[in-house]
Structure 1
Amino acid sequence: MARRAAHCPIIDDFKAACEKYHYSPAQILPHDSYLINLGHPVSEALEKSRDAFIDEMQRCEQLGLSLLNFHPGSHLQQIPEEECLARIAESINIALEKTQGVTAVIENTAGQGSNLGFRFEHLAAIIDGVEDKSRVGVCIDTCHAFAAGYDLRTTDECEKNIRRF
């Protein structure tokens, strides 16, 4: 995909608003498109998702943002979980090679359908496959974690699950 021009009035306005209201890049966590599937089992669709993800990462670069939050992906019941997790890690590696200064932040999912990322083990497998560990992070969505079966009703249970993570 073509890289957008670095100088654009709307980008300048965004950066000025961040400065005016004292928002640093670390305080802003945009979410990529929900249509992106970095583990897509079909090669053509996987390439489209990878291109769209790189575009999102480049958009963050242009806005001066350092983080991009995303859901890992789905096997669509067409490939094994392990293969899908490996595709997700490979997709992240490709995006990190083509961008600078933006951390890919993997958000856990609730476990609906064939989406992966609802188990902490999924997140660990993806991170294990990412080459530049300094540019990958995790966002724990507590509603998703609870829906996926992690008991978060008490401080003790939260601490137990965080230690498990």
Structure 2
Amino acid sequence: MTHSAPPPVRTTHRRRGAWWLAAVIASAGVITIVATMLVVGQRPWLHTNVTIPLSYVGEDGKTYFCTYDYRTSDRLPMPTSVADNMNARDWSQTGQLIYEWAKTHPAESWTTQDDIPADDPRSTRPDASWALAMDEYIDFPPWQIETEHGSEYELWHEVRPGSTCVDGLR
């Protein structure tokens, strides 16, 4: 009695099934990555050039911290000298300075309602006060990139998840 080999169609069918399954898994992976980037709000065309960690001790004795990533695009990159200068700075006291300034210069606008006090969790004034104070203490040297439309400049900043700096102003 001789045994015959299985027909080649069956083997080909298994290979097609394996390729189809691999294609579905790869497509699902790409869709998941794109969806995650959209949900998290990341911009893959932006590159972190400068990272600034800040911390301070609030009036309540707690230490608050936050980290900001400053980013530019490949189209309008931050000059290396600017990034190196900003990354080399000692930011260790800056968080405390920003906090003190924000406490003494509370924002009068950017609030959800005029009758909500600044220390109410629904108020946006602590966020606004912190942002205004950051503008006072975090100053990038000016730069312009020449493009076909003239001189341009782009800079985005984003606070990392888990940062608590604004919480100390509430």
Q: Same fold judged by TM-score > 0.5? A: no
Looking at secondary structure, tell me which structure has more helix per residue.
1
Q: Provide the TM-score with structure 2 as the length reference.
A: 0.22
> RCO (CA 8 Å, sep 6+): is it higher in 1 or 2?
2
Q: Provide the TM-score with structure 1 as the length reference.
A: 0.23
Looking at secondary structure, tell me which structure has more strand per residue.
2
